[in-house]
Structures are given as structure tokens and as C-alpha cells.
């Protein structure tokens, strides 16, 4: 018989009642957000086994969380890897990938126009810890071969480089790196796995800012890595001790984005090609960069390794002032420094995304002072065309 005096107090019952997950036998059609910092094991021994990775399972959400795990697996699937892991940002993913591979005394050979924070990570944080980086032009295979000295641990590339849209020959570059005993890490952020899957072209690890095309709506910051099970185990171990795992709600948003990635990317690419062709015909534009145009310097490589030209293009204007006036005259894109969104986004890399580069660094990386980088959104193409043409007229009048 129930003795009211033996019953637990209000607080105990409230805590137990409000933290008991429902029993759900039917599979949800989306991955639930497991908003929990900790998971309870059957007994102390099982907890010890899960924490030591002897038994699969969840114990503490800095180490692993079911929603984060689902994102890691989904990314591995679409990237063509055995395993994957999801981070709180693209930089978190890049940091963990590099730290999982490099030790003091190692060399990284990196493409010369990497994303600004990646450059700062390589030349600042990793350099201080004794990892040297040399930057090369990835289209100059002899220069890459020469840079791959025996202590080279990593060849670091971007599928489509930010912001110069250089497309390296991933199979040839991977073969060079492997011949020199180096591991190939590719940042696939500008492409997305719908446009390119570097793991199928020789890369060992692929990293991506999921903030961009994977999430797709400018509402989440996250990052992902995929590769072999052994490589991801090493990345995961860095994440365990540095705490970069993605938050459950962020993982949920990226999972949601991945389900429409193929449809969105097809529409982004179609619009980007249309705008690239339009800008290429304009006298105000010195050069248009788009991997899907025959005029792209690596058009042959792009046709071979990319599914389409993707959603990113560049327009080189005559000066910084013209680039700034052009961006300020645009009415559709919000003034913000991201990419890979339903919104069209235009930035001036020398002042925004690549502000870490000085004038000499910009010149060496092949980034012109008047470069504008455009991430083409999903607005109606005719509206975008009108907006770009009007802004070009206003920009060049400046």
C-alpha cells in the first residue's frame, strides 16, 4: 500500500518527472534535438566503458551527443567518408583536423589564398606551436612538389579557393602529396558535397563550414569533417579534449539543410551561371570568376572534378572604392560577411573575409584590391540581374 510519508519530496519528484524522456517506439521523421548534457548508463561499469569508447553509447555531451552524431554520420554519407564528426563551427573542424595530424617540427603546405581565419590559424596559432606553413599556388604542380619536403605532414587545399575561386587538380595534387608521405586535407566549403566530393578524388580528410551551403539559410554556425574511421577517431579525440563539438540545435538545423542541399545547390548554380554570364558582358567588370565559365583559368579541371560551377562568383572592379560603392548600391543582399545562403551575399574580401592579409599578402595570394565576391542566393534571378546592373552603374560612377 502506498504510504504518503514514504513518498519522495516535491523537489525529487519534480526533477525525476520533468527529466524522464518519453518512450517513443515509432521512429521520428527528423532527428530529435537531444538537449542533454549527460546520458545515464545502466551501471558504473557501463559508464566507464562508454567513456573509454569500449562500448558505443553516450555519456557526456562534450564528447558525443546523438544529434551531433547523426550530423557526423549524415555528412560522412554525402561526402563519401567512412566516418564523420560535427563541430560548433567550420574553424573548429579545421582546427581539430590539423591538430589531429600535426606536431611541432611538421610542415603544412597550403594553397596560397586560403580563408583568412585558416591563414591566421596556420601562421599564428600553429606556427607558435612549432608547425611551419608554406603557401603555394596549387595550379603550379612543380612548386607544390618542391614544397612537399619529407617533414611535410599535410597538404591543405580548398576545392574552390576563397576568394579567388582557384580549382586545384585534386587527383594530381593528392598523388603528389601521397608520394611525399603527406596527408591531404581539403576544405570543401565553397563547393559542398553536391558540387564536389574530395574524398573520392584522393583527399584523406574533408572539412567544411556547415554554416554555409549545408545549413543554407544563414541561421546556424557549424562545421563538419569526414574521412576514414581511423582519421575521424583522431579528430574526435582532439574534439573530446578541446570541446569543439556542435550544439544539438545547430546539428538539427544542419541536418534539416542537408535534406534540401541538392535542390538548393542546383538552383544556386543555375542562378550563378546566369549572373556570371551577365557580368562577363559588362565593360565595368575587369574579370569575372566562375568555375562554370569557359573563361575560368582552370575550366578543364573544374569540368572534370566539379558537378557544376557552384554558387560562388567574383567580379573584379577597378578599385577598392568601386568595390565598396558597388556593394553599398546593392539593394537585395544584406551587408554581411558570409556565404552559402538563400540570401545573395556580396563581400569585399580585402576588407571583410581576408582582412588578415596585408597589401603584399593580398598581391601574393592573387586577390585584387577591387575584388567583389558574390554568393548567389535563391531570390528571383531577374531581380538579382537588375540589382547587379544598377549597382555596377552606381559603383563605377563613384
Ligand X SMILES: Cc1ncc(COP(=O)(O)O)c(C=O)c1O
**Catalytic residue list contains 364:** no
Q: Are 259 and 29 in contact (CB under 8 A)?
A: no
Q: Does 367 bind ligand X (CB under 6 A)?
A: no
Q: Does 174 bind ligand X (CB under 6 A)?
A: no
Q: In what order do the strands lie in the sheet with 287-289?
A: 287-289, 312-316, 371-375, 345-347
Q: Does 221 bind ligand X (CB under 6 A)?
A: yes
Instruction: For the CB of residue 245, give the shortest distance to ligand X in the complex, in Å.
Output: 14
Q: Does 357 bind ligand X (CB under 6 A)?
A: no
Report residue 3: phi and psi, to 5°.
Answer: -100, 110
Whether the bond into 5 is cis, omega within 30 of 0: no
Instruction: For the CB of residue 189, give the shortest distance to ligand X in the complex, in Å.
Output: 4
Nearer to ligand X, 202 or 223 (CB): 223
Q: Does 365 bind ligand X (CB under 6 A)?
A: no
Distance CA 351, CA 234 (A): 36
| Range 88-147, binding ligand X (CB under 6 A) | 89-91, 115, 117
Q: Does 223 bind ligand X (CB under 6 A)?
A: yes
**Catalytic residue list contains 241:** no
Instruction: For the CB of residue 164, give the shortest distance to ligand X in the complex, in Å.
Output: 11
Nearer to ligand X, 350 or 395 (CB): 350
- DSSP per residue over 344-367, as a string? -EEE-TTTTTTTTS-HHHHHHTT-
How many positions of this chain bind ligand X (CB under 6 A)? 14
- DSSP per residue over 106-154, as a string? -EEEEETT--HHHHHIIIIIIHHTT-EEEEE-TT-HHHHHHH--TTEEE
Select from 79, 330, 26, 331 the least CA-distant residue to 186. 79
Write down the catalytic residue from 107, 212, 271, 373. Answer: 212
**Catalytic residue list contains 358:** no
**Catalytic residue list contains 115:** yes
Closest residue by beta carbon to ligand X: 90
Footprint of ligand X (CB under 6 A): 89-91, 115, 117, 158, 162, 187, 189-190, 209, 211, 221, 223
Give catalytic residue positions: 62, 115, 187, 212
Amino acid at each position: 500500500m502506498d504510504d504518503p510519508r514514504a513518498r519522495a519530496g516535491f523537489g525529487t519528484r519534480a526533477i525525476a518527472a520533468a527529466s524522464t524522456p518519453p518512450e517513443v517506439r515509432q521512429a521520428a521523421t527528423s532527428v530529435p534535438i537531444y538537449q542533454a548534457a549527460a546520458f545515464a548508463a545502466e551501471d558504473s561499469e557501463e559508464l566507464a566503458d562508454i567513456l573509454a569508447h569500449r562500448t558505443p553509447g553516450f555519456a557526456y555531451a562534450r564528447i558525443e551527443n546523438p544529434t551531433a552524431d547523426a550530423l557526423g554520420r549524415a555528412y560522412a554519407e554525402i561526402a563519401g567518408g567512412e566516418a564523420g564528426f560535427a563541430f560548433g563551427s567550420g574553424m573548429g573542424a579545421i582546427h581539430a583536423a590539423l591538430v589531429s595530424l600535426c606536431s611541432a617540427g611538421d610542415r603544412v603546405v597550403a594553397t596560397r589564398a586560403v580563408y583568412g581565419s585558416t591563414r591566421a590559424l596556420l601562421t599564428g596559432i600553429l606556427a607558435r606551436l612549432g608547425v611551419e606553413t608554406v603557401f603555394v599556388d596549387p595550379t603550379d604542380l612543380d612548386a607544390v612538389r618542391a614544397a612537399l619536403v619529407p617533414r611535410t605532414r599535410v597538404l591543405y587545399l580548398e576545392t574552390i579557393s576563397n576568394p579567388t575561386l582557384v580549382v586545384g587538380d585534386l587527383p594530381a595534387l593528392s598523388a603528389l602529396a601521397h608520394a611525399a608521405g603527406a596527408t591531404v586535407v581539403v576544405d570543401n566549403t565553397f563547393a559542398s558535397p553536391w558540387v564536389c566530393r574530395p574524398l573520392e578524388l584522393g583527399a584523406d580528410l574533408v572539412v567544411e563550414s556547415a554554416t554555409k551551403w549545408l545549413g543554407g539559410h544563414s541561421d546556424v554556425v557549424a562545421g563538419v569533417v569526414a574521412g576514414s574511421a581511423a582519421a575521424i577517431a583522431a579528430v574526435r579525440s582532439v574534439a573530446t579534449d578541446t570541446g569543439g563539438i556542435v550544439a544539438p540545435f545547430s546539428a538539427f538545423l544542419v541536418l534539416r539543410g542537408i535534406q534540401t542541399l541538392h535542390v538548393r545547390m542546383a538552383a544556386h548554380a543555375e542562378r550563378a551561371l546566369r549572373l556570371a554570364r551577365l557580368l562577363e558582358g559588362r565593360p565595368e567588370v575587369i574579370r569575372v570568376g566562375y568555375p562554370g565559365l569557359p573563361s575560368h583559368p582552370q575550366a578543364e579541371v573544374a569540368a572534370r572534378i566539379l558537378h557544376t560551377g557552384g554558387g560562388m562568383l567574383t567580379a573584379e572592379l577597378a578599385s577598392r572604392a568601386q568595390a565598396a560603392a558597388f556593394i553599398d548600391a546593392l539593394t537585395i543582399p544584406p551587408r554581411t560577411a558570409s556565404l552559402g545562403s538563400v540570401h545573395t551575399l556580396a563581400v569585399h574580401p580585402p576588407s571583410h573575409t581576408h582582412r588578415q592579409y596585408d597589401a603584399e599578402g593580398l598581391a601574393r595570394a592573387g586577390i585584387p584590391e577591387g575584388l567583389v565576391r558574390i554568393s548567389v542566393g535563391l531570390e528571383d534571378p531577374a531581380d538579382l540581374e537588375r540589382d547587379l546592373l544598377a549597382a555596377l552603374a552606381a559603383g563605377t560612377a563613384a
